[in-house]
Structure formats: structure tokens, C-alpha cells
Amino acid sequence: MPDHLPAGHPPVATPKIGVLLLNLGTPDATDYWSVRRYLKEFLSDQRVIETPRWLWWPILNLIILSVRPQKSGANYARIWDKRTNESPLLVITREQAQNLGQRMAGDDVVVDYAMRYGNPSTASRIEALQKAGCQKILLVPLYPQYSATTTATANDKAFEALAKMRWQPAVRTAPAYFAEPAYIEALANSIRDGVAALDFEPDLVITSYHGMPREYLEKGDPYHCQCLKTTRLVREKLGWDESRIMVTFQSRFGRAEWLEPYTDETLKSLPSKGIKKIAILAPAFAADCIETLEEIAITGQEEFMHGGGERYAYIPCLNATAGGMDMLEQVVRKELQGWL
């Protein structure tokens, strides 16, 4: 197209395909106001908090946003990447995008990343991809298991940006990959290698997934079933007995009943049942973040050891490891069929 433009025509970029990795988000810093801005955007999302606005608004703005930013900021500070002065989630997601971009550079594919909450914003990166010549964009929510609170709201934000564009690119959304053979294999390998690297034999391996209000499951959200299926497929891939691995749910918020069993209560109670050596991982996260590095790797260990545990190990997310990137590339290439 650029070779056949009439005289005086504005420059036109060579047509390309864009891949936009979408993750949850992160505050820009650990101070009160940075964390408050992030939490306000996150907790104002009606996909995340379905409480009627008239009831939720005063609770959020008058109570939660007055006290929670200080506590959350302190937790972020415990795991903050001091080398880059950024959150680990941002550092890892950027590394995933850069790695995938290098792997797909020969296919005229431009890979970028964005956050549902915080920066870089989804709208800014869709605009950047279009300016780079991407007339087709694949949106890839980095959530193995689908939930309206994660995958759906990430896509919502992207379509909100598209609704304001005069010249929209063609768009595809990648589905959840909770049962994709490449994901199951990568996850199984990470567990096998993680356990083999320990200097103790775990009595139990826990797969801790981010929780959600039980009400969301009852309304039809498939997340719970997909979490259970992921762990079952991984267990079968490993050839393990059912008693060797279990599912729990973390990150409860508020007073409503959430998916059970709860990770924190499980960790506190296991030693009294004779299970004193465990390894734990968080398969719902594509990249390590505050929910894994602070809540599970640090606080979870404190809870387990305080309850009488003896050995505790956290197995990291797939992140930008070779196995994790092989999996992500396979998932993306599958969804790009017919475009490449």
C-alpha cells in the first residue's frame, strides 16, 4: 500500500498484526495516594464488585479508601522491585511481551502489554498498536481461567477504547486457556521441577487460586469449575494420586461467603492434621504479583509455620520462563491462525 500512494498522501504504516497482553494492573508506587488511585479504579469496577452502587459508593470512598491504601502500600513495599522501582507484575508482564515479540518478530507481529487498572492503560496501547500499523489486534487476557471479574473486564476496557476510535482495527479475543495442553504441560513441569529442587519432600502440594464471592459462581461464572479442571488435568499429567494435591482459594475480601476451602484457613489447620511440609503455587496468575509474592510466599508461610508447620515452599508462576513463554507462544499462535 505505501508504494502506491498518490502524491501528497499522508504516510501509511505497513500493515501488521498486533498482540496485546492484558493483565490486572498495579499502582505506580507504594505511597498512599498511588495505591489509593489504583484501588479506587479497581474497586469501582462493577465487574469486580457487584454490590449496588448506592450502597457500595459510601463504603468504598468513606471507609475502604481511607484505610486500605496504607495497609496495601505496606504489603506492596515488601515485594516491590527496587531495581526498577516498579511492581513485579509490571516488570514480568513487560518481560513476557518483549520475549514474545522477539519470538514473533519474523511474522510482522507487534507485541505490547497493558493493564486493566493503572498504567500502561489499555486505551494507550491499542492506540500505539494502531499507529504502528496494526490493522488486526489479538487481545490476550493473561488469565488461564475465565471469570467476569478478570477476563471479561479486561476485554470490556479494550472495547471501551475501541468504541472511541474512528478507524478500528479488526479484533479477536483469546479465550481462557485453563485446559490447553501446552498450559497443562508447562504447569505440570513447573510443579515437578519445583518439587524436585526442594531439600524436602512435601506432604501436600496446594494449588491456590484467587477467590471470588460464591454468589458469582451461582450466577453462572465458570471460574470455579475451570480451576478444578486445571488442577485435575495437572494431577493426571503428573500421574499423582488425588491425596497429593489440593485446591484452595485465596484473597477473600469483605464479609460475603467466597469460594472454599480458603487458603489462609487451610494453611493454619494443616499442621494439626499431620501435614507439616507443603509446597504451594498459584495457577490462576500468569505472573507473580502481590497476591503470590506477599500473600502466599510471605504471609502464607507465616500462617503455616505459626500453626505448627515445619517446611514451606512457594513455586513461582510461569512468568517469562522458557516453559512459560513456549506455552504463551503456542496459545497466541493458535489464536492467530488465519491472520498469520
Instruction: List, run by run, the mean pLDDT of 10-residue segments along the chain (340 residues).
Output: 69 87 98 97 96 95 96 97 97 98 93 98 97 96 98 98 95 98 98 98 98 97 98 98 98 93 98 98 98 98 98 98 98 97
Q: Where are the domains of the chain?
A: 16-177+323-335, 181-314
Same fold, 16-177+323-335 and 181-314: yes
Reported pTM: 0.95
Which CATH number is associated with domain 181-314? 3.40.50.1400
pLDDT of residue 3: 61
CA–CA gap between residue 216 and residue 262 (Å, rounded): 16
For 82, counting Cβ atoms within 10 Å of its Cβ (0-12 exposed, 13-18 middle, 19+ buried), the class is exposed
Q: Is 210 labelled as part of a ligand binding site? A: yes
pLDDT of residue 2: 54
16-177+323-335: CATH, from 1.10.540.10, 3.40.50.1110, 3.40.50.1400, 3.30.70.1350: 3.40.50.1400
